[in-house]
Amino acid sequence: MPSTVELKDRADALSSRRLFLLVAGPLFVLFLLTSNRAVPYHIDAFSNVLPAWSLGSTGSVYLPDHEVLVQPDYFGNIAWLVPAQDSVASKYPPGAALLATPLYAMWPQDAEIWTVRGFNQPEAAPVEIPVPSFWPAAVAAALSVALAMGFLAVSFRRLAGGATALSAAYLAALGTSAWSVAANELWQHGPGMLWIALAGALAARNLVAAGFAYGFGVLTRPVNAFIAGATGLYVAWQERSLWPAVQAGLGAIAGLGALVAFNAAVFGEPSVLGGYANVFVDNAQSLDLVGYLRNIVMAFVSPTRGLLVWSPFLILLIPGLVSGWRAAPGWARGAAIGAVAYLLFQYKANRYSGGSGFATYRYPLEALTAAAPVLVLSYTTWVAERPTAARIFRVLAIVSIAAHGAFAVIY
């Protein structure tokens, strides 16, 4: 039986391709097995499933058979649908749905008429609507997060070697709500993580390609533009040239343009918000700084939604952030700055909880993906150098994995 040293040497010798497959393959199987493929299904994720099914089966984002869901008794209760042209459509950007669309196009089963109760108001009268199979959505969700972790492993390998990259990718996958939330249903988070992780894997060698990956991230969730912008601008500042910002910005702006064009076509008005209400703009412009600060603090320490509560291994990485930052290349630093900007905006525009009906947290997922390379360097430059800290880190990592594993099965 190989020794620990021999296993480490083998992992360090893995090529990027083999490392990617060794991470993404098993995780995809695990995520798919533990995913939710039936009702009750979260209202946010269901709002991505419906347009994916409609696009795959009819080629249209409109949902004429679901127009009842915009009536006062059902609005915001079963799916987030809004009036669009002469029909209704999901209020969300199309990125998450687009990933599942090819799977629904290949899926032979028609939607079935189900009697569905509301998510936010279960006491409301049930309604009969077509409900497609959740299997294609489950495959898309599981695959997007598994691929994201594979791309993270490739990024980690450049910074810390194959053995550390392998263990870090699995901890990112299993010790965070990547498993218990993003891979569990077709949220926006899994696809968003995929494009951010791919951009990170590309950024060291090809900022143009990384920019287009970020562009798909913006098409999935517009707030991902903070990560794209910070990456390009930081590398440009570091190199004292605007060219890196232009390279990274081309694809990101293309994604933003595609989003605006989509909203113009579907909702009749060119905008970033699309079907969203203006409440998020109002929150972002609010001068309630006390409430803002509370929102930020609770996002980290809330008993039910706290990032540090449910992924406590991150606490041990905080002291090493300075040394990790010093060791990080420009693309990783820029992405980490973007992660901070992302969270600051997210918690200004929206509540920290992210709603109900899911386990632990969800809003920090894209930011964690962007900051992951610097966090890995925090481990290698601080935690790994201190035996006591390393032992505590391992215990907290096991606790995190156990918690998210339990929730992945329960929800």
* Burial 123-146, CB ≥16 within 10 A → b, else e: eeeebebebbbbbbbbbbbbbbbb
pLDDT at residue 287, rounded to an integer: 75
Q: What is the pLDDT of residues 180-201, one digit of tens each?
A: 999 999 999 999 999 999 999 9
- Asked if residue 222 has a cis previous peptide bond (ω within 30° of 0), the answer is no
Bridge pairing between strands 81-84 and 87-90: antiparallel
Mean pLDDT, residues 264-278: 87
The mean-pLDDT minimum among 70-74, 97-101, 292-296, 395-399 falls in: 70-74
Which of the four pLDDT bands, split at 50, 70 and 90, describes residue 254? very high
Domain residue limits, the chain: 4-34+139-410, 43-133
Q: What is the pLDDT of residues 229-239, one digit of tens each?
A: 999 999 999 99
Do the Cβ atoms of 214 and 246 come closer than 8 Å? Answer: no
pLDDT at residue 201, rounded to an integer: 97
pLDDT at residue 66, rounded to an integer: 95
Q: What is the pLDDT of residues 8-17, one digit of tens each?
A: 778 778 899 9
Residue 84, φ and ψ in degrees, nearest 5: -150, 115
Closest CA relative to residue 272, chosen from 342, 224, 327: 224
pLDDT at residue 316, rounded to an integer: 98
- Give the residue, 272 or 214, on which the prediction is more confident: 214
Q: What is the pLDDT of residues 359-371, one digit of tens each?
A: 999 999 999 999 9
pLDDT at residue 282, rounded to an integer: 75
pLDDT over 70, % of the chain? 100
Mean pLDDT, residues 68-77: 88
pLDDT over 90, % of the chain? 82
Give alpha helix (H) positions in 268-320.
Answer: 279-285, 289-301, 307-310
pLDDT of 175 over the 90 cut: yes
pLDDT of 409 over the 70 cut: yes
* Burial 359-394, CB ≥16 within 10 A → b, else e: bbbbbbbbbbbbbbbbbbbbbbbbbeeeeebeebbe
Q: What is the pLDDT of residues 299-352, one digit of tens each?
A: 999 999 999 999 999 999 999 999 999 999 999 999 999 999 999 999 999 999
Q: What is the pLDDT of residues 30-57, one digit of tens each?
A: 999 999 998 889 999 999 999 999 999 9
pLDDT of 136 over the 90 cut: yes
Name beta bridge partners: 83.
88
Which of the four pLDDT bands, split at 50, 70 and 90, describes residue 382? very high
Q: What is the pLDDT of residues 50-65, one digit of tens each?
A: 999 999 999 999 999 9
State the pTM of this model: 0.96
pLDDT of 123 over the 80 cut: no
Closest CA relative to residue 222, chosen from 121, 340, 96: 96
pLDDT of 105 over the 70 cut: yes
Do the Cβ atoms of 214 and 228 come closer than 8 Å? Answer: yes
pLDDT of 113 over the 80 cut: yes
Residue with tokens 């997060």: 145
pLDDT at residue 1, rounded to an integer: 63
pLDDT at residue 411, rounded to an integer: 76
Compute the mean pLDDT over every residue in the chain, rounded to the nearest whole number: 94
pLDDT of 110 over the 90 cut: no
